[in-house]
């Protein structure tokens, strides 16, 4: 009789252990997936920037510094190793800021605003900017569920044995907190 | 909370199906009894119609609902970049696959979602919505629709729509055959006995034929009304921007009704496209002021 009870308890423990481990692995994969979503968008934006610069150059000849800054940040972003989330996002946020100043150029150069290539690039870039911020939101929520699993009982025991570590949240840039998204009325 | 909601919706879908099928069978028997003098033939007819409609809806819901509402599919991103990108964003953050995107040629701003599950879902927006709303507002509306997709509201409301349409079809068949003399009742002389019982059955059947479709509509509308608050709340969870949805709802409610919206799909839209003044049980949506007040409280 006691053998049966012990057997049942052991089996239950094994089931709990396995399901705890699988849950952690799944949550870990989700955060990696959502990070790669961000990465895809960052790469996409990097591909668009040379086009943007060559389109805008002809119209706004006095804005060399603005272009140089954007190109520099873009190149800097390609140098950052992809697994250092924090650094990547910091450079990316700076890049977003300087891209905004290029968008703003269209106000002072009406010819540029009328250029169809430029309006297309604007939509493409604001699309990637939006996707970056939504993917960041997704990353943070997947990170939150992984962190919750790592901290809560009983999966924290499994997490301790297999060295699952908490994932840091991605900070939302101050500028984005203050000003709501760019609107295109 | 969301997962509870999904499980609850899946359960409710089963109850709704059972309820509607029972109602359908009862109405079928009544129609048969009143118009064709045979409850069994009506019952069989009801079952056939129910099976055909449900099969059609479960396999083809998207294309059926979309063609009922004169919507055309947007095949690639170039055809409507802003709408496409916004839907894509909401699908990313809502963690559902990218739904199909449709556009309805109508100056009145409105939108809806349909489909059987998140893998086979579709969203539609009117041209008026795209013209009048800015990007933030459009994000709010599409987040609302993606929430319907994510919560499995689309399956529940699409099936409810199919079955209440099936019930009105059944009653119409009965009515038509009655007026055109196809299945006129034999005179009472042919019958033997059971006088008062027959009259009671007859009255009950007529009542069921008249009230059945109304009951089906009320059930369908009650289901959809309750989903709207939840979809509004989950939309804000996705965009983190209640103002966008508030402004969108204000713009939508201050506009003219849609020209060609299908009345039976009215409950699917984000806001009643017909704008008829109805109250209580027959409302497809909760009052706009209530929805906006709840969003402002967030």
- pLDDT of B63-80, one tens digit each? 888 888 899 999 988 888
Residue for token pair 């920037």? A49
The answer to whether B148 is a known ligand-binding residue is yes
- The answer to whether the peptide bond before residue A98 is cis (omega within 30 degrees of 0) is no
Is residue A75 included in any domain, yes or no? yes
The most confident of A90-104, B47-61, B209-223, B243-257, by mean pLDDT: B243-257
Interface probe with A: pick from B78, B85, B96, B245, most Cβ of A within 10 Å: B85
What distance in Å separates the CA atoms of residue A16 and residue A183, rounded to the nearest whole number? 49
- In the predicted structure, residue A177 carries a pLDDT above the cut 70: no
Using the Cβ of A84 and the Cβ atoms of chain B, whether some distance falls under 8 Å is answered with no
Q: Which of A127-141, B152-166, B169-183, B206-220 has the lowest mean pLDDT?
A: B169-183
So where are chain B's domains? Answer: 2-296
pLDDT for the residue numbered B277: 57
Q: Is the pLDDT of residue A107 over 90?
A: no
| Residue A144 forms part of a structural domain | yes
For B81, which of A123, A181, A185 is closest by C-beta distance?
Answer: A123
Asked whether residue A104 is assigned to any structural domain, the reply reads: yes
pLDDT at position B187 is 47
Q: How many residues does chain B have?
A: 298
Residue A59, domain CATH: 1.20.1440.20
Q: How confident is the model at residue B133 (pLDDT cuts 50, 70, 90)?
A: very high
Beta carbons within 10 angstroms of residue A66's beta carbon? 18
B144 is in an annotated binding site: yes
Q: How far is A185 from chain B (nearest CA, A)?
A: 5
Is B188 a residue whose pLDDT tops 50? no
pLDDT over 60 (residue A184)? no
Residue B269 contacts residue B231 (beta carbons within 8 Å): no
Higher pLDDT pick, A135 / B12: A135
> Please, what is the average pLDDT of chain A?
84
ipTM of the complex: 0.70
Check whether A110 has a pLDDT greater than 70: yes
H/E element holding B18? helix B2-35
Strands B111-117 and B71-74: unpaired
B137 assigned to active site? no
Please give the pLDDT value at position A133. 87
Answer whether residue B275 shows pLDDT above 80.
no
**Which residues does chain A have within 8 Å of residue B85's beta carbon, measured at their own beta carbons?**
123, 127, 130-131
Structural domain containing residue A111: 28-178
Measured CA to CA in angstroms, residue B35 lies from A150, B21, B22 at distances of 67, 20, 20
Q: What local confidence, expressed as pLDDT, does residue A12 receive?
A: 93
DSSP state of B280: G
pLDDT at residue number B180: 63
- Please pick, among B78, B119, B137, B145, the residue that the annotation labels catalytic: B145
Out of B88-92, B224-228, B229-233, least confident range: B224-228
Q: In terms of C-beta density within 10 A (0-12 exposed, 13-18 middle, 19 or more buried), how is residue B243 classed?
A: middle
What is the C-alpha separation between B23 and B27, in angstroms, rounded? 6
Q: Which two tokens stand for residue B114?
A: 């349909």
Q: Report, as an integer, the average pLDDT of A153-178.
A: 80
For A173, left (φ over 0), alpha (ψ -120 to 50), or beta? beta
What's the whole-number mean pLDDT along residues B173-189? 60
pLDDT the model gives residue B276: 61
Which H or E run includes B114?
strand B111-117
b vs e for A78-87, b when ≥16 Cβ sit within 10 Å of the residue's Cβ? eebeeeebee
Is there a contact between B243 and A131 if contact means CB atoms under 8 Å apart? no
Spell out which residues of chain A touch residue B95, defining contact as CB-CB under 8 Å: 138
CB contact under 8 A, A181 and B135: yes
Domains of chain A: total: 1
Nearest alpha carbon to residue B142 among B156, B160, B161, B123: B123
**Among residues 34-63 of chain A, which lie with CB inside 8 Å of chain B?**
37
Distance CA A43, CA B96 (A): 23
For residue A131, the distance in angstroms to the closest alpha carbon of chain B comes to 6
Do residues B132 and B101 make contact, with C-beta atoms less than 8 angstroms apart? no
Task: Output B69-72 pairs: Cβ under 8 A, ≥24 positions apart.
Answer: B69/B104, B69/B112, B69/B124, B69/B260, B69/B261, B69/B262, B69/B265, B70/B104, B70/B105, B70/B260, B71/B102, B71/B103, B71/B104, B71/B124, B72/B102, B72/B103, B72/B104, B72/B105
Q: Which of A93-102, B9-18, B100-109, B217-226 has the highest mean pLDDT?
A: B100-109
Average pLDDT, chain B: 82
Contact call for A127 and B134, based on CB within 8 A = no
The mean per-residue pLDDT over the stretch A62-70 comes to 81
Lowest mean pLDDT segment, chosen from A33-47, A151-165, A171-185, B134-148 = A171-185
């Amino acid at each position: 009789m006691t053998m049966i009870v012990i057997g049942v308890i052991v089996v239950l423990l094994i089931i709990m252990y396995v399901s705890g481990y699988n849950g952690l692995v799944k949550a870990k994969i989700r955060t990696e997936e959502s990070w790669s979503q961000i990465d895809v968008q960052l790469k996409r934006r990097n591909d668009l920037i040379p086009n943007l610069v060559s389109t805008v150059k002809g119209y706004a000849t006095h804005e060399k510094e603005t272009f140089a800054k954007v190109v520099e940040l873009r190149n800097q972003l390609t140098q950052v190793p992809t697994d250092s989330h924090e650094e990547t996002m910091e450079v990316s946020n700076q890049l977003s800021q300087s891209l905004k100043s290029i968008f703003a150029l269209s106000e002072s150069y009406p010819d540029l605003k009328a250029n169809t290539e430029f309006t297309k690039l604007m939509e493409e870039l604001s699309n990637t900017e939006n996707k970056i911020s939504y993917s960041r939101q997704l990353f943070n929520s997947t990170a939150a569920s992984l962190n919750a699993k790592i901290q809560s009982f009983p999966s924290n025991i499994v997490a301790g044995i297999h060295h699952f570590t908490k994932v840091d949240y991605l900070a939302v840039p101050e500028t984005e907190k203050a000003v709501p998204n760019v609107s295109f009325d | 909370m969301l997962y509870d909601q999904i499980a609850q919706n899946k359960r409710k879908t089963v109850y709704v199906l059972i309820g509607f099928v029972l109602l359908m069978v009862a109405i079928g028997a009544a129609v048969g009894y009143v118009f064709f003098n045979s409850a069994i033939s009506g019952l069989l007819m009801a079952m056939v119609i129910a099976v055909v409609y449900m099969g059609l809806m479960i396999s083809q819901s998207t294309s059926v609902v979309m063609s009922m509402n004169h919507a055309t599919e947007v095949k690639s991103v170039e055809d409507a970049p802003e709408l496409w990108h916004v839907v894509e964003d909401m699908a990313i953050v809502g963690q559902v696959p990218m739904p199909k995107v449709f556009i309805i040629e109508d100056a009145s701003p409105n939108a809806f979602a349909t489909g059987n599950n998140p893998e086979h879902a579709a969203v539609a927006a009117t041209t008026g919505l795209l013209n009048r709303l800015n990007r933030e507002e459009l994000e709010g509306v599409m987040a609302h629709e993606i929430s319907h997709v994510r919560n499995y509201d689309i399956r529940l409301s699409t099936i409810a729509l199919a079955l209440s349409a099936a019930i009105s079809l059944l009653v119409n068949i009965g009515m038509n055959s009655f007026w055109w003399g196809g299945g006129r009742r034999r005179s009472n002389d042919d019958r033997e006995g059971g006088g008062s019982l027959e009259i009671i059955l007859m009255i009950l059947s007529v009542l069921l034929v008249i009230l059945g479709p109304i009951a089906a509509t009320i059930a369908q509308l009650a289901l959809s009304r309750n989903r709207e608050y939840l979809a509004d709340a989950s939309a804000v969870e996705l965009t983190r921007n209640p103002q966008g949805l508030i402004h969108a709802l204000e713009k939508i409610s201050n506009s003219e009704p849609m020209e060609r919206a299908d009345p039976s799909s009215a409950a699917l839209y984000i806001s009643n496209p017909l704008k008829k003044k109805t109250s209580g049980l027959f409302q497809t949506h909760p009052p706009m002021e209530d929805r906006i007040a709840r969003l402002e409280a967030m």
